[in-house]
Structure 1
Amino acid sequence: MIDYAAILTILVVTTFSGSAGALALKKGMNDLPKLSLNSVLKNGWIYLGSFLYILSAITNIILLKFLDYSIAFPMTSLTYVWTVIISYFIFKESLSFRKVLAVILIIIGVFIISQ
C-alpha cells in the first residue's frame, strides 16, 4: 500500500529544497565582492545551496521509486511555486498578475496530474 503522506512529504522536501538551494546560491553569488574561486569557496551560502540541491536530488530519486515518472516529474514543477514565494519574501521581488496566475496554473496542473 502506498503511504500518500510520506510521498507528499518527500515531494515537499524535494521541491522546497531545490528552490531554497537555488535561492541560497543566488544569495551567495550576490554577496561576492568579485567572482573568483577563492571567494566562492569561502561563501557559506554556496555550501548551503549546494547541500540543498543534493538533498533535492536524493529525495527526487526516492520519489521516483514510488511514483510513475509521468507523475513525479511534473509534480517537481512545484519548485517554481516555492521560488516565486521565497523570492518575494527574501529578495523583495514583485509579484505581478502573470506570476500569480502562473503559480495558480502550476498548482492546478499538479493537482490534475496527481489524480
Structure 2
Amino acid sequence: MIDYAAVITILVVTTLSGSAGALALKKGMNDLPELRLKLVLTNGWIYLGSFLYILSAVTNIVLLKFLDYSIAFPMTSLTYVWTVIISYFIFKERLTARKLIAVILIIAGVFIISQ
C-alpha cells in the first residue's frame, strides 16, 4: 500500500530542494568577482546549493522506492515549476506568457502521468 501523503511530501522535498539548490549555486556564482577555486570554496551559497542538490538526489532515490520509474522521473519535472516561481521572486526574472503556459503544461503532464 502506497502512503500518498509520504510520496507527495518526498516529491515536494525532491523537486523544491533541487530547484533551490540550483538557484543557490547561481547566487553563489553571481557573487564571485572572478572564477577562482579559493573563492568558490569560501562561498556559503555554493555549500548550500551543493547540500540541497544532494538532498534532492537522496530523496529522489527514496521516491523510487515508492513509485515506478516511468512515473517518478516525469514527476521530478516539477523542479522546473519551482525554478520559474523562485526565479521570479528572487532574481526578478520576467514571468512571460510562454513561461506560464509551460508551467501549466508541466503540471498537467505530471497530473496525467500520475493517474
How does the TM-score come out when normalised to structure 1? Answer: 1.00
Following the alignment from structure 1 to structure 2, what is the Cα–Cα distance between the partners of residues 13 and 93?
Answer: 23
Alignment of 1:36-115 (within 5 A): 36-115=36-115
CA distance in 1, matches of 2:76, 2:2: 19
Q: 1:59 corresponds to which letter in structure 2?
A: T
Displacement over 6 Å in runs of 4+: none
How many correspondences in the alignment?
115
Shift of 1:14: 0.1
**1-structure distance, mates of 2:8, 2:81:** 15
The alignment-based identity, stated in percent, is 86
Could you tell me which runs of 5 or more consecutive residues in structure 2 were left unpaired when the two chains were aligned. Answer: none
SS in 1 for 2:34: coil
Distance across 2 between alignment mates of 1:93 and 1:47: 24
List runs of 5+ in structure 1 lacking aligned partners: none
RMSD: 0.3
TM-score by length of 2: 1.00
